[in-house]
Amino acid sequence: MPMEFDENNIEKVARCMKALAHPLRLKVLVALNDKERSVQDLVEAVGTTQSNVSQHLTIMRDKNILSSRREANQVFYRVGDCKVLELVALTKSIFCTP
């Protein structure tokens, strides 16, 4: 039985997967998991520069993968869609298990 998708869903999935198709973005998602973390926490967790992390956070926020909030001079991020967490977990179980 073939699976059917409407054109809007195909576009949405393609945009999401394209946004996730970068090693650093996947590292950020794994670091976030279901928690909220500051940009500085994420910089330390993924081991790259603040400007590099911020660039990738912006891409994922613009694609509605992440949500953010500002508190004084800090910005906090979290995964905005639990389906993304499920996708990351599934990907991890398929590709990262012996």
pLDDT digits (tens, 9 = 90+) for 34-89: 899 999 999 999 999 999 999 999 999 998 899 999 999 999 999 988 888 888 88
Residues near 65 by Cβ (< 8 Å), separated by ≥ 6? 16, 19, 20, 29, 79, 80, 81, 84
Tell if the pTM clears 0.75, that is, is over it.
Answer: yes
In the prediction, which pLDDT does 2 show? 56
Pick the CATH number of 22-95 from 2.60.120.890, 3.40.47.10, 1.10.10.10, 3.30.420.40: 1.10.10.10
Structural domain boundaries in the chain: 22-95
Residues near 69 by Cβ (< 8 Å), separated by ≥ 6? 36, 75, 76
Mean pLDDT of 10-37: 89
